[in-house]
Amino acid sequence: MTSLANSMDWMKHLLTTGEHPDVHFLVGDGDEKEILPAHKHILMNTSDVFEAMFRFDSQNGKSENASANCPVVEVPDIEPTTFKLMLKYIYVADFSELNGENAMAVLYAAKKYNIPALVDRSLQIPISELGNVFMAYAYACFFRIEDDFLEINQKIFCVLLDLDRLLLSNEFEIWKIALRWADEKCRQNGIYECSSDNRRSVLGPALFKIRFPNMLEEDFSKFVVPSGLLTMEEVLGVYQFNSHPNLSLRGVPELYSLKFPSHGRISDWNTAKRNGRGTLALEIEKVSEFAGKSVGGYRFSDTVYINGLAWKIKAEIREGTAADDEKKYLGFFLWYERTKYEKPLNCLFSATFRIVSEKSETENSIGTLCDYNNQMNSSWGFGNFISFEEMVNPINGYYNREEDKVTLAIDVMTVDEPKMDKFILGQSKATGTLLMEIEKASEFAREVFGSDRKSETVHINGLPWKILAKIQTKNGSVDNEKWLGIYLSCGAPEKDLHWRCCVRSAIFQIINRKNGAENSTVGTLCDRVFDNNSTNRGFPNFISFVELMDPEKGFYTKCEDKVTLTIDVITVDEPKMDKFIWDQSKATGTLLMDIEKVSGFAMEILESERQSETVQIKGLPWKIWAEINQRKESSDNNEKWLGIYLWCDMPREDKNWSCKCSAILRIVSQMADYRREFSDQFFDNKSNSWGYDNFISFSELMDQSKALVNQNEDKLTLAIDFTVNEANTELKPLEFQWHGRVSDWIIANANWGTTENKNS
């Protein structure tokens, strides 16, 4: 046994080593739990709460099995660091680590376990050391010790309101705290009528420390003005300040002078406790009345602070997206309440949206958003979360008919914004594979339209890439069938506007767990440009959930309840191309493209594509573009067609060019070429591709008797012979900046035997 000089050394030894414990405390909640060893008799000598907890164990301590038992006591409401500070006092009476940052948390623990000396010492921390009394107030509200805060006098309250750095940068919330303080002072002074005059009297100079101009005008008009706390002249001064047309003239004497400070506050991130999780709730009362309001009506929840930011639920009445849909829908949003003078704070968050069911056997209606950034926007959510008709249906259990009420909830988890090195296009790693396993796929399939999942980040060419999987509807569909949209998503910071990257190819797959990777569902995109305005590229209708969740297909197994997605990415640096020279001598040319592994291409999903290399004719860049399509008038939705187009790959920004083209589009055959043609079609910035959506069906293309596909090499060869006429001779030589393919094509007028403009 270790030799120690005195009992204090021995107590320190027990505290630091945890030797011979007879009880363990599982302290903390969520992912921050920690097991701490302790000794019952030491605790019992300090606290009557611990004595009551362990008295029975002490009385039976001589039993044969008592020494073998080491119970675990769960303490979810105290953080491990706070519990350690309390143990440090109990064992060795050490207050050295008690300070303004942890005093309120230690005070809560000391009150819970009734340790009077530790309570007194926690309350002796000077307010000046707390640094942020509004943080203390927030703790106080939670710990039910509001009276300790309300004891401060008017002078100290004025000092606090003068601070620019507070946990609560929302001035409306600060105003509500001031009212709470004023009402308590009225009560303490024997004034039991909390009228506007009495409140104004006890606030005194503190009233003029509140920064009313920083409030949202809606909150100021709806709550502050009707309270009667301000005079008409003071109200007009705030309105005049907010409506002044020339910001540079603020501070010049006006008809109604501003009586209140107007400079903004900053959330104190250095001293604020960063609680990264939280739940918001909104009870929509009088639902029948709310549902009868016109489109645009809304309700807000109370504010909840998570990671120092003010969050609310916004419920809004929305109309359906389809032209023939006359139903009303509930729009369900997470609202970041930033004041107009508050600088945007960067924070990533994930959120689960729920309509809480009143029936235990009925599941909540759920939607999920993952890894969204609050820097640029103020609200995120679902425009058509659920129809009011479905929401009030008694079968679903969402609507409490007796109380005429529906309860909404959002579970929010925020994370600090990762600090990323500046990306450098041209890094050696230009390829990569992203992988995502959608866990609990059956639950995800039941979530609402717009719900999503995101993979972990993979850096390729210095940029952060993710897989984005999203529940979507199919354009033109009227049965509300759910489809899985899969996208390649670039997560470069929104504030970095000057970045762009071309993805040469991206192969999307859903892994087939039953029949192997060779039977996976595949889609391919080529030459897609990503920049600040185009961060997601992919397939909105990759596969229907009916097919995805069918165990016979092999993409999903009930025992694992997950789906695996992959995207193989090849990026290229922006090529530097020479100036275009309007060469009148070369007006004709031929484009060739070999589609390798054509049998695999035929199995890919709709909108998968291949593109040829570029050929310069008349100084313009031309390509073949081949795409898997569906024939619009066909009754067979499973029949695939090959679309072939002549495409002029000029940047969308370059608008001063035009020409006419005649072309022969061919499938090069070992027997006779399969061909179609068009004449004198007009090409310009808005109509830069012409061809056939339904050039040939894949069933005919793969027919061995046609000899269109080289069966030995599994290869298809396409060719386009074309002539450029009536070129716009006003086009001057220019420095061409390559922008990759033009996005968001609209396929129209897909008639057999006619050409289609992909941009019409």
Residue 507 has φ and ψ, to the nearest 5°, of -105, 115
Same domain assignment for residues 562 and 582: no
Q: Which two tokens stand for residue 194?
A: 């909390």
Q: Which two tokens stand for residue 152?
A: 């401060």
pLDDT value, residue 476: 63
Number of separate domains in the chain:
5
pLDDT value, residue 499: 66
Please write the tens of the pLDDT for every residue from 386-403: 989 888 888 888 888 888
178 inside domain = yes
352 inside domain = yes
Q: 507 and 522 in contact (C-beta within 8 Å)?
A: yes
Strand order in the sheet with 500-510: 431-439, 562-572, 500-510, 521-531
Q: What is the CATH number of the domain that holds 115?
A: 3.30.710.10
Q: Which two tokens stand for residue 486?
A: 């899969």
Residue 106 has φ and ψ, to the nearest 5°, of -65, -40
708 inside domain = yes
Cβ-based burial of 498 (10 A; exposed 0-12, middle 13-18, buried ≥19): exposed
Q: 576 and 455 in contact (C-beta within 8 Å)?
A: no
Non-local CB neighbours of 693 within 8 Å, separated by 6+ positions: 629, 631, 632, 641, 643, 747, 750, 756
133 inside domain = no
Distance of alpha carbon 311 from the chain centroid:
14
pLDDT value, residue 332: 92
Same domain assignment for residues 532 and 444: yes
Residue where a domain terminates, one of 371, 400, 418: 418
Pairing of strands 304-306, 365-373: unpaired
465 inside domain = yes
Same domain assignment for residues 446 and 392: no
Same domain assignment for residues 539 and 598: no
624 SS3 class = strand
pLDDT value, residue 642: 94
Same domain assignment for residues 470 and 398: no
pLDDT value, residue 56: 60
Same domain assignment for residues 344 and 230: no
Same domain assignment for residues 441 and 533: yes
Same domain assignment for residues 389 and 514: no
Neighbours of 131 (CB within 10 A): 19
Distance CA 677, CA 666 (A): 8
Q: What is the CATH number of the domain that holds 611?
A: 2.60.210.10
Element (H, E) at 90: helix 80-92
Could you tell me how many helices (H) and strands (E) the chain has, helices first?
21, 34
Q: Which parts of the chain have pLDDT scores under 50?
A: 1-3, 59-68, 127-128, 131-133, 138-146, 245-253, 268-274, 340-344, 361-362, 417-428, 574-584, 729-755, 759-760
Neighbours of 411 (CB within 10 A): 15
Same domain assignment for residues 408 and 429: no
Neighbours of 483 (CB within 10 A): 23
pLDDT value, residue 493: 61
Q: Concatenated DSSP letters for 168-201?
A: ---HHHHHHHHHHHHHHHHHHTT-----HHHHHH
pLDDT value, residue 557: 82
Residue where a domain terminates, one of 350, 384, 418: 418
Q: What percent of the chain has pLDDT over 90?
A: 14
Range of the domain at 36: 7-125
146 SS3 class = helix
Distance CA 13, CA 469 (A): 54
Distance CA 571, CA 508 (A): 15
Same domain assignment for residues 430 and 457: yes
Q: Which two tokens stand for residue 399?
A: 């609507």
Distance CA 760, CA 757 (A): 5
2 inside domain = no
Residue where a domain terminates, one of 533, 553, 574: 574
pTM more than 0.75: no
pLDDT value, residue 477: 65
Distance CA 228, CA 736 (A): 65
- Residue ranges of alpha helices (H) inside 633-717 are 698-701
Q: Which two tokens stand for residue 234?
A: 């003071």
14 inside domain = yes
Same domain assignment for residues 564 and 584: no
DSSP character for 228?
T
288 inside domain = yes
Distance CA 207, CA 154 (A): 10
Same domain assignment for residues 465 and 568: yes
Element (H, E) at 110: helix 103-112
